Amino acid sequence: MLLIGCSSNDQPSQIRESGYVNVERGRLFYEKFGSGEPIIIIHGGPGLDHSYLLPQMLELAKDHELIFYDQRGSGKSFDAEISSAYNRLCQSNNARFHVVTWES
């Protein structure tokens, strides 16, 4: 069996628009590709950004406007509450590490 991958030159790979949308206590980063009826693409998480979806989803940008965004506290988006909670978690984990290191 022979499998051959082909790429099309008419696939939109250029970002049409990108930026930030202000939301309560944070900002969401977004990128838009293509034009036509809009499709909002939501990435998995937590901690991931939308970039891993681009290679598979950009084919749809031939006929649609694709709107990718990074969820709160992920990728280039910011959330004050998530950032504070994450910092507190890291501080707690560091404290636990020091306790375990000193006790052993």
Pair of tokens at residue 30: 């977004």
Q: What residues are paired with 37 via a beta bridge?
A: 64
Residue entry with tokens 């069996």:
1
For the chain, the structural domain boundaries read 17-78
Return the pLDDT at 34. 93
64-90 tens-digit pLDDT: 999 998 888 888 888 867 655 555 556
Pair of tokens at residue 38: 């809009």
Neighbouring C-alpha atoms within 13 Å toward the C-beta of 77: 29
Contact at 8 Å (CB) between 49 and 76? yes
20-69 tens-digit pLDDT: 999 888 888 999 999 999 999 888 876 788 998 888 899 999 999 999 98
Return the pLDDT at 62. 92
Count Cβ atoms below 10 Å from residue 72 Cβ, excluding itself: 20
Q: Which CATH number fits domain 17-78: 3.20.20.60, 2.60.120.10, 3.40.50.10300, 3.40.50.12270?
A: 3.40.50.12270
